[in-house]
Amino acid sequence: METNKPSQTNLKLSIQVSLDGLSFCILDTKQEEFIFFKKLTFDRQLDPVKILQKIELEYKNEESLQAAVDEITLIFDNPLYTIVPSKLFIEEQASNYLKFNTRILKTDFIAHDEITIARAVCVYIPYANIINYFFDKYGEFEYKHSISVLLENLLKKEKINFPRVYLYNKPGNYDLVVIEEGRLIFCNNFKYETPEDFLYYILFTAEQLNLDPEKFNLQMFGNISEDSALYQLAYTYIKNISLTKHSTKNTFSKTEEKQQAEAEFVLLNSF
């Protein structure tokens, strides 16, 4: 859905919301340039009410966010989702897909994204109060789950005929995606506290999918570096491992913002 404002500015705004942080990015589509990026990290996980207070404070104090924009995309990054094959999805039964791995309250709003390229649907719980805030501010707009954006972009790039495992790392958790011959084989989110936890879920998934650590290709990206204990431990057990920077065609107007945004694959590819 597009905003109901006339297109005048060539600016698009994308906002990513998680329980432990917020990220804002503005793209000038005419110049193909990111003109604003800001990331906030909370000291602890907050509930949706307090997250909205943080958003309101940013809009009050951040001049760049007060600019007129043509389109807005809101991205929810949380583990409250499940992936359902399109041919099995029934919208009226959306809550039933979630109840096996997510605690659902009667007041929860359940949404879904069609991921056409994956022939799948992402069923998830967004934060209704935050949706209402942006609707009041901008009118109709698009919102998605972060895993939908991730899968859309990975599947567009992936054409090889052998299994490839993608690990998109974030603070304390990661999305693990397995693709083979352009088909989505596996997708899940794992929380970890130690490098050993981090490695365990990779190897456990590989075992369940009959993937040989000596043969499958693992690409890591996001909040991770070759110097990190996470990467070093994984490198010990997995033969074909690489650290990848998935770039976009758009440039940055400020070098320091580019450096800050390098780990934000989903946000930068949501436009």
Model pLDDT for residues 44-77, shown as the tens digit of each residue: 999 999 999 999 999 999 999 999 999 999 999 9
- How high is the pLDDT of residue 72? 97
- How high is the pLDDT of residue 267? 96
Cα distances (angstroms) measured from residue 139 to each of 25, 150, 152: 19, 26, 25
Stretch among 68-72, 102-106, 123-127, 204-208 having the lowest mean pLDDT:
102-106
Residue in the structure block whose two tokens are 């207070």:
53
Most confident of 96-110, 128-142, 248-262: 128-142
Q: How confident is the model at residue 102 (pLDDT cuts 50, 70, 90)?
A: confident
Segment (H or E) for 112: strand 111-115
Strand, coil or helix: what is 120? strand
Q: How confident is the model at residue 246 (pLDDT cuts 50, 70, 90)?
A: low
69: Cα separation from own chain's centroid: 22
* Structural domains of the chain sorted by starting position, each given as residue range(s) with its CATH number in brackets: 153-243 (3.30.420.260)
Best CA proximity match to 48, nearest among 94, 122, 105: 105
Best CA proximity match to 189, nearest among 178, 177, 203, 206: 177
pTM (global) more than 0.85:
yes
- How high is the pLDDT of residue 158? 65
Stretch among 2-16, 75-89, 138-152 having the lowest mean pLDDT:
2-16
Return d(Cα 137, Cα 154) in angstroms, integer. 32
Best CA proximity match to 76, nearest among 142, 174, 4, 155: 142
